[in-house]
Amino acid sequence: MRIAAALVLVPLALGAAYAGGMFWTALVTVVAVGLYLEWLMVVGEVRTVSVGTAGAVAIAVAGICCAFGLVDFAVVVLGIGLLVVGGLAAGRRLWVVAGFVYASAAELASVLVRLDASEGWHALVLALLVVWASDIGGYVAGRGIGGPKLAPRISPNKTWAGAIGGFAASLVAATGWSLSGAGGLLAMLALAAGLSVVSQLGDLAESAVKRHFGVKDSSHIIPGHGGLLDRLDGYVAAIVFAAIVGLLRGGLDGVGRGLLVW
């Protein structure tokens, strides 16, 4: 089931990423809404309909703004949404707000990285490849080698061998993407190294939240994989990190260049 789901989801993600524009933004927006609602399920606040509805609407409207290139308006909408969600949350307000920020950051970061007309595609695919390679390499090395646990209190199945294997696999993926003409090798390797570490930390952070609330899977929406949070925790951390680095170096319209051109 895991392989079958991947064979559907990977081409979908890459196809939307390649098309960019409204196609990528639409996919990102739907996923961001799902991330937010799953977060509410994990923290036990999904039954507060007003909180779920307000946050989902804000994320959706922000996505529409992004689809028309109005990223500044999207930021304003998400800011208003944050205030409304925080005001409506009756319990666990900080957790609810954190979930909204998490989903909103994933949405904006994904849009910003792809927005760059010259390097957005290359930068986005690099992030995707690094996250996928880290997951696969970590799984193979962790199962094949085993050894000392990485963070047994947070995620009992993760090992140091898996973390190192995932890191090494991400470097291999970045090398392959660079050799295809996507960018300079040294810049790709340095970026892949950072993205892999951040991705694995994001995975651990999501596991810590689920463990805190006694939840095993955020949902069962993806056969064999669990929920969106379970599948995209590493991606969210990596893409937000990538967007911040690219934004600082390349500006709002040059996030991709800021990541790949050093």
Residues 177, 127 contacting (CB under 8 angstroms): no
Quote the mean pLDDT of the chain: 92
What is the mean pLDDT of the segment spanning 152-164?
89
Q: Please, are residues 114 and 125 in contact by the beta-carbon 8 Å criterion?
A: no
H helix runs in 20-145, sequence order: 21-43, 49-67, 71-88, 93-115, 120-144
- Determine the pLDDT at residue 157: 83
In this structure, of 52-56, 127-131, 216-220, 221-225, the range with the lowest mean pLDDT score is: 221-225
- CA 12 – CA 139 distance, rounded (Å): 23
- Rounded Cα–Cα distance for residues 17 and 28 (Å): 10
Chain segment 190-233, per-residue pLDDT in tens: 999 999 999 999 999 999 999 999 888 777 777 666 789 988 99
State the average pLDDT over residues 49-76: 96
Between the alpha carbon of residue 178 and those of residues 45, 188, 190, the distances in Å are 44, 7, 12
In angstroms, the CA 163 to CA 196 distance is: 9
Q: Are the C-beta atoms of residues 35 and 105 closer than 8 Å to each other?
A: no
**How far is 213 from 193, CA to CA, in rounded Å?**
31
Buried b (16+ CB within 10 A) or exposed e, 236-250: bbbbbbbbebbbeeb
1-15, 113-127, 245-259: range with lowest mean pLDDT? 1-15
Beta bridge partners, 151, equal 155
For the whole model, what pTM was predicted?
0.93
| pLDDT category of residue 187 using cuts at 50, 70 and 90 | confident
Q: What is the pLDDT of residue 224?
A: 63
Looking at residue 246, what is its pLDDT?
95
Percent of the chain whose pLDDT exceeds 90: 73
- For 72-122, write each residue's pLDDT tens digit: 999 999 999 999 999 999 878 999 999 999 999 999 999 999 998 889 999
